[in-house]
């Protein structure tokens, strides 16, 4: 589904990714772990197409197409979802309005009919329920006045509504207490665990992986993957630290 080959990228002229290669197949959950500054968030932003994150070498193929040639909104319509480490506040734009516009823009790009207001609200209510987020929160401005945990749950509600085939989740576990972590973990499983979907979980810690069991774990250091393994690798990292393992 996703094939990253020898990816080099820089931010403001500074090289961050240095030859990263990774293949993710449908039905798989991959975890990327690594110390601060390893390039984890840069990888997420490069995949999402954030301006200022410049690819200098390598390629990314997503479902057979050149992902890097697509604009950010086209990547979303192609089925890519980027869960933000720091979800952005948008005063004056309600979640409902934002997500309905976003979903219908994606549907339009795929040649599908738009959802009516009623159909959309039904879908939003269902996904909010899944993440135990009060529906009233979705009537408020996007992320404005949300706590850290609410922002992360709202991200997952967005993911549920947009129904991507591939999700890159950048430290979705940060800022969550233990109960919220379980709710979010179960939400990710419910939305993304499917033979036709895949997930790239970017995280510092093992704890989210207790709920979302990865098929593969990779250690990212200095902009490339230095070690890959099964779920046990995450436990090993947790026990012994990045320096000892990688």
Partner 1 sequence: MNASLASVVPTTRDEDWRYADPDWLAAADPAALNRWRELAVPAGETLCETGIVEAGVDRLRVHVGRDARFALFLVNPAGPYARAEVEVTLEEGAHFEFGGVTLGGGRKRQEFVTRVFHAHPHASSNQVVRAVQWGQATGNFLGRIEVARDAQKTDAAQNFRAILLEKGAAANAKPELEIFADDVKCAHGAAIGALDRAAAFYMAARGLPPEIARKLLIRAFVADAFAAIEDAGLRERMLEQALAGLEGDVV
Which structure tokens are listed for 181? Answer: 């972590």
Residue 193, helix vs strand vs coil: coil
Residue number, 114 or 231, with CB nearest to partner 1: 114
Which structure tokens are listed for 83? Answer: 């869960």
Q: Which residues pair with 199 in a beta bridge?
A: 29, 167
Residue number, 102 or 190, with CB nearest to partner 1: 102
Q: Which residues pair with 31 in a beta bridge?
A: 201, 217
Output the furthest CA–CA distance in the chain (Å, rounded): 54
Q: Which residues contact 83 (CB under 8 A, 6 or more apart)?
A: 155, 156, 159, 167, 168, 169, 170, 172
Strands (DSSP E) found in 84-154: 90-94, 141-142
111 counts as binding partner 1 under rule CB under 8 A: no
Residue number, 8 or 100, with CB nearest to partner 1: 100
Which of 84, 166, 216, 242 is the binder for partner 1 (CB under 8 A)?
84
Rounded to whole angstroms, the Cα distance separating 234 from 204 reads 10
Q: According to CB under 8 A, which residues from 135 to 164 bind partner 1?
A: 141, 158, 162
Please report where in the chains the tokens 């409902």 appear, as a residue: 96
Q: According to CB under 8 A, which residues from 35 to 54 bind partner 1?
A: 48-51
185 sits in which H/E element: helix 178-192
Query: At closest approach, how far in Å is the CB of 228 from partner 1?
Result: 27
Residue number, 19 or 72, with CB nearest to partner 1: 72
Please choose, out of 35-43, 92-100, 132-140, 178-186, the segment that lies near partner 1 by the rule CB under 8 A: 92-100
231 counts as binding partner 1 under rule CB under 8 A: no
Please choose, out of 9-17, 78-86, 182-190, 223-231, the segment that lies near partner 1 by the rule CB under 8 A: 78-86
Query: At closest approach, how far in Å is the CB of 96 from partner 1?
Result: 12
Please choose, out of 55-63, 94-102, 183-191, 222-230, the segment that lies near partner 1 by the rule CB under 8 A: 94-102
Query: At closest approach, how far in Å is the CB of 92 from partner 1?
Result: 3
Strand-pair category, 14-24 with 2-11: antiparallel
DSSP 8-state secondary structure symbol assigned to residue 144: T
Please choose, out of 90-98, 206-214, 216-224, 234-242, the segment that lies near partner 1 by the rule CB under 8 A: 90-98
Residue number, 98 or 211, with CB nearest to partner 1: 98
Rounded to whole angstroms, the Cα distance separating 197 from 214 reads 13
Which of 11, 55, 93, 245 is the binder for partner 1 (CB under 8 A)?
93
Rounded to whole angstroms, the Cα distance separating 234 from 93 reads 39
- Contact positions toward partner 1, by CB under 8 A? 48-51, 71-73, 75-77, 81-82, 84, 87-93, 97-99, 101-103, 105-106, 109, 141, 158, 162
């Amino acid at each position: 589904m996703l094939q990253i080959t020898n990816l080099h990228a820089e931010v403001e002229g500074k090289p961050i990714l240095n030859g990263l290669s990774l293949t993710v197949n449908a039905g798989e959950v991959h975890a990327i772990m690594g110390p601060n500054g390893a390039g984890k968030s840069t990888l997420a932003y490069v995949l999402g197409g954030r301006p200022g994150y410049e690819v200098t070498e390598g390629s990314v193929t997503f479902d057979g197409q050149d992902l890097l040639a697509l604009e950010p909104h086209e990547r979303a319509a192609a089925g890519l979802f980027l869960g933000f480490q720091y979800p952005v506040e948008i005063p004056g734009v309600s979640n409902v309005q934002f997500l309905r516009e976003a979903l219908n823009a994606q549907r339009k790009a795929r040649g599908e009919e738009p959802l009516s207001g009623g159909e959309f609200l039904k879908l939003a209510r269902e996904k909010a329920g899944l993440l135990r987020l009060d529906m009233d929160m979705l009537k408020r401005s996007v992320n404005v006045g949300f706590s850290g945990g609410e922002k992360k749950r709202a991200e997952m509600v967005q993911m549920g509504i947009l129904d991507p085939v591939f999700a890159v989740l950048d430290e979705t576990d940060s800022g969550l207490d233990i109960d919220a972590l379980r709710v979010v973990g179960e939400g990710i499983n419910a939305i993304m665990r499917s033979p036709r979907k895949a997930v790239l979980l970017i995280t510092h810690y093992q704890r989210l992986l207790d709920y979302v069991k990865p098929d593969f774990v990779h250690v990212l250091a200095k902009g490339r993957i230095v070690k890959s393994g099964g779920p046990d690798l995450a436990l090993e990292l947790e026990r012994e630290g990045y320096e000892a393992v990688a």
